[in-house]
Structure 1
Amino acid sequence: SYAAGLIGKAKIKVKKAGKKGLLGLKLEFIYKPDSLNIPMSEMAVKLEHCIFHAGIAGQYAQYARRVLQILSDAEIRAHASMHEHSQSHHHAAPMLHEAQDILVDITGSAFALQSLNVFMESVTCLSPVYTGGGFVTFSHGTFPVPSPAVEQVINACGIPVAAGPVDRELLTPTGVSILSALDCKYEERNTSKTLVRHHGILGAGFGMMKLPGNRPNAVLVHIFDNGDLK
């Protein structure tokens, strides 16, 4: 809530959610869409306020700063690749759009990792990471998914991706920057031992977007000790 309120007015509600037997929590972020685009330098200052206010420290604070840096670099490269440096489109300073959303995502993910006492070097993600499909529209026009900024991070960091399974944007610039900053290992979905549910703790975080085909829009997190897989 503190992060959301740093840039304009916003409310955050946490509710129980579930679909197709999967239970978890959903964070509802209520704010004015497309509001308050701010310079990247200002976003860095606001992120420092959030890190301090939330008590985020050590490797988790460094992770939050790394997410913002990756995102900012990708946006700059994407704008350059789209030839957006004409007089009509040039910003006096590099800007981040939908700044409230970005600040909440970065602060929230860092706080969650710290609260769960996750060792950053032990994070594993399932691959491929699905980008979604179709088209996405933002301040610079309409583009095919993955968006130019997402492609910049995918290519720079070698994240294993695949299109689909729905025609919606599933991997956003902030989301792919979070993945990149985690510097996680990747395991194929059909062979990963992390899908074993008999050990550890399994949690689900639901998104607000409704997916076609009644698919659950959720991120699964499975926390376990290495000994659980033996």
Structure 2
Amino acid sequence: MTDRPFYVLLGPDRAGKSSVMAEMASALPGWQTVSTDDDLVAGEHGLVTRLRRMVVKDVLPGLGTAYSPDFLAELLGAAVVYLRDQLERQEPGVPVLMDSYYYKILAKCRLAGLDEHPLYAWWRSFPQPREVIYLDVSPETAWRRSGRGARLNPLEYFGPRPAWLGFESYQTNLGKLMLEETGRLPVTVVEERPGTAATAAAVREVLAA
């Protein structure tokens, strides 16, 4: 266990986590934010962002043919270890807000066909947060935010190409798996808000409490 207090911001695709994390990075004095988003990864860790782009550009189009789900899990595991390492590098006593942790990656690996994998037990042995803040969003809103499928990658929908039914089914199952994985932890659900500012304000209220 870690003596570094941390909280996890979680939610389905297009819930607005990246935008909220970016706002929180400057709106939480005395806090640290940890994420694999490009804007929140320091330059010396550029490999993390390059790996993320390669997964989307090279691995996902060939998933199931050129690359196996096991290969995908190993690559995504690098992001999980990066988040854990960043947590351990923080000063003791400094609170941390972390984006998704391993919960979302594990759920996506399961949806890609890896219902069980030795990596899962290792990830579950990592330090656990004091609380999970779950940003809820309706599939309809998420679909609209994705440009009605135009900006989706293959780990955001079921089927050979983006379509509403495949997206809705994937996001519904993703949410269930993430909440199942965090079921032993305190979870506060932030209901859908009209815009980043309102959502970030709701998250700040939870953290202040």
Task: Give the alignment's TM-score, normalised by structure 1.
Answer: 0.34
Query: Which structure exhibits the higher relative contact order, with contacts defined as CA atoms closer than 8 Å and separated by 6 or more residues?
Result: 2
Higher helix fraction (1 or 2)? 2
Task: Give the alignment's TM-score, normalised by structure 2.
Answer: 0.37
Higher strand fraction (1 or 2)? 1
Rg comparison, structure with higher value: 1
